[in-house]
């Protein structure tokens, strides 16, 4: 890339499986991902990577902005699956970095009403969601779904995006969605199984979709960031040098802020 600053797509699909030629490289069963399993990550001075996975950054976007394009790409893919329409109401259940980026992308897609939930023990996340224009609801007592339905007019949300990776958030998303609405599960659960309450999901005729990473989103992510349609920099609350990587992971595990970036 001749010394140019680039964003790195961390996923390397096999390329010749039945899914890759159909445009579903994110579902490739032989995909390799930077820092996962036996593939080294990028906490090193030099890194060789396929040129097709490198995306030059325009002037005005920093290396940290480039690092944030991967979570933004996940948010774009999530909102694509959500089929957000102009004027729709969208709720995000889990206001971490992915959830907050989903709020921004949904707003850019035309959502007129935004709501967000997170644990009351993480008030900084609720405050961040409010700063992005979302009505914030503390989660954890099981009553947030009723409060959200009442806030948006009684029937519920057009789209409910679960971005917490916990069953309580899945339940709240399903209960908050309107009849005929869509529920998109973007969180990665610690447990092997995720369930929905059939008496709600079936009777409301909900469409439920699962998110697997992202799908050809880097050009769109760069365009959104370059146009100022999303705020990437407020998502990065901590920066550490490579020598303090262990502390960076500890801060991230404690959920003290939003995104933690290690700067080599």
pLDDT at 171: 96
3-state secondary structure 118-153: EECCCHHHHHHHHHCCCEEEEECCCCHHHHHHHHCC
Report the distance separating Cα 23 and Cα 59, nearest Å: 30
pLDDT at 39: 82
Q: Which residue has the tokens 């959502």?
A: 111
Q: What is the dihedral of CA 91, 92, 93, 99, to 10 degrees?
A: 180
Give the pLDDT band of residue 157 (cuts 50, 70, 90).
very high
Report the distance separating Cα 18 and Cα 21, nearest Å: 6
pLDDT at 42: 85
In the chain, the percentage of residues whose pLDDT exceeds 70 is 99
Give the pLDDT band of residue 90 (cuts 50, 70, 90).
very high
pLDDT at 15: 83
Tell me the whole-structure pTM to 2 decimals.
0.94
pLDDT at 87 over 80: yes
Report the distance separating Cα 252 and Cα 129, nearest Å: 19
pLDDT at 201: 95
Report the distance separating Cα 60 and Cα 133, nearest Å: 25
Please, what are the domains in the chain?
72-210 (3.40.50.720)
Give the pLDDT band of residue 140 (cuts 50, 70, 90).
confident
pLDDT at 3: 79
For the segment 173-183, the average pLDDT, to the nearest whole number, is: 97
Note the pLDDT tens digit of each residue in 218-242. 999 999 999 999 999 999 999 999 9
pLDDT, averaged across the chain = 93
3-state secondary structure the chain: CCCCCEEECCEECCCCCCCHHHCCHHHCCCCEECCCCCCCCCCCCCCCCCHHHEEECCCCCCHHHHHCHHHHHHHHHHHHHHCCCCCCEEEEECCCHHHHHHHHHHHHCCCCEEEEEEECCCHHHHHHHHHCCCEEEEECCCCHHHHHHHHCCCCCEEEEEECCCCHHHHHHHHHHEEEEEEEEECCCCCCCCCCCCHHHHCCCCCEEEECCCCCCCHHHHHHHHHCCCCCCHHHEEEEEEHHHHHHHHHHHHCCCCCEEEEEC
């Amino acid at each position: 890339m001749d010394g140019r600053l680039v964003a790195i797509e961390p996923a390397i699909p096999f390329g010749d499986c039945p899914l890759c030629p159909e445009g579903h490289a994110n579902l490739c069963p032989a995909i390799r991902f930077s820092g996962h399993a036996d593939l080294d990550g990028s906490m090193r001075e030099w890194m060789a990577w396929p040129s097709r996975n490198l995306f030059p950054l325009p002037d005005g976007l920093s290396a940290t902005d480039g690092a944030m394009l991967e979570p933004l790409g996940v948010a774009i893919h999530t909102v694509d699956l959500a089929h957000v329409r102009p004027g729709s109401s969208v709720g995000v259940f889990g206001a971490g970095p992915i959830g907050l980026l989903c709020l921004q992308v949904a707003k850019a897609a035309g959502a007129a009403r935004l709501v967000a939930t997170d644990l009351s023990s993480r008030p900084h996340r609720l405050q961040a969601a409010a700063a992005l224009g979302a009505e914030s609801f503390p989660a954890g007592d099981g009553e947030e779904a009723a409060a959200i339905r009442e806030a948006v007019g009684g029937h519920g949300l057009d789209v409910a995006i679960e971005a917490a990776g916990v069953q309580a958030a899945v339940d709240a998303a399903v209960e908050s969605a309107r009849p005929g609405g869509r529920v998109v599960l973007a969180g990665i659960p610690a447990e092997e199984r995720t369930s929905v309450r059939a008496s709600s999901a079936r009777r409301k005729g909900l469409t439920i979709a699962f998110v697997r990473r992202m799908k050809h989103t880097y050009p769109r992510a760069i365009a959104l960031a370059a146009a100022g349609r999303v705020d990437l920099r407020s998502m990065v609350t901590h920066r550490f040098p490579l020598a303090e990587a262990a502390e960076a992971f500890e801060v991230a595990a404690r959920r003290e802020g939003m995104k933690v970036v290690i700067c080599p």
